Amino acid sequence: MTEDRGETPPDSVGTDLPQWIGQMPTGVDPGVEAARQRIGRIARLFEHILERAAGRESITVGDWAALSVLQRSGPPYERTPKQLADALGLTSGTVSVRIDRLTRSGLVEPVPATDGRSRPVRLTEEGRRLWSAATAQRTLEEQRLFGGALDPDQVDRLNSLLGALLSRLEEEFGPAPRHDRPRPGS
């Protein structure tokens, strides 16, 4: 970024757009196509931030997502396997494997329950500490990247514009999922 943040540096969408717009059907709005492509690429690149922060704590992005569901649930930070599966968009088998791994790592612990099949798990103190450390790393990295590209007023304008777009999309398609779901294999 330039010192005054006035010039926009080249990006991959700007480089690719002229070639692929020429191949698109008549009537495609280049501005809308470019914005859609940029939003998608940015979302995919944000995965790198999650992977870095998770890797520094020796967990997978999927493990972090499970810890996040538990942390967001509030005290006592517990959920049943079915609730975790629903929140993460995973099968019960995948969640079972994830719970076993997190239990062996001391990040979650089983909670006594009358029905052993849906025995809740809760975050341990170590799980909460690790979740907090990974989340702090993620947010610092995001702040650094945003700060290197946009000033605070631009971030405010970006949020306003994205909010308007999200509102329109949710009006059309219903509410977006509240939280990221890890990619298969994460």
Looking at residue 2, its pLDDT comes to: 40
Q: pLDDT digit string (tens) for 7-46?
A: 667 899 989 988 988 898 999 999 999 999 999 999 999 9
- Return the residue matching tokens 């509410």: 175
Q: Taking the CA atoms of 174, 177, 182 and 185 in sequence, report the sign of the dihedral they define.
A: negative
Q: 1 falls in which pLDDT band (50, 70, 90)?
A: very low
pTM over 0.75: yes
DSSP 2: -
Structure-block tokens of residue 7 = 């010039």
What is the C-alpha end-to-end distance of the chain, expressed in Å?
32
Cβ–Cβ < 8 Å for 84, 66 = yes
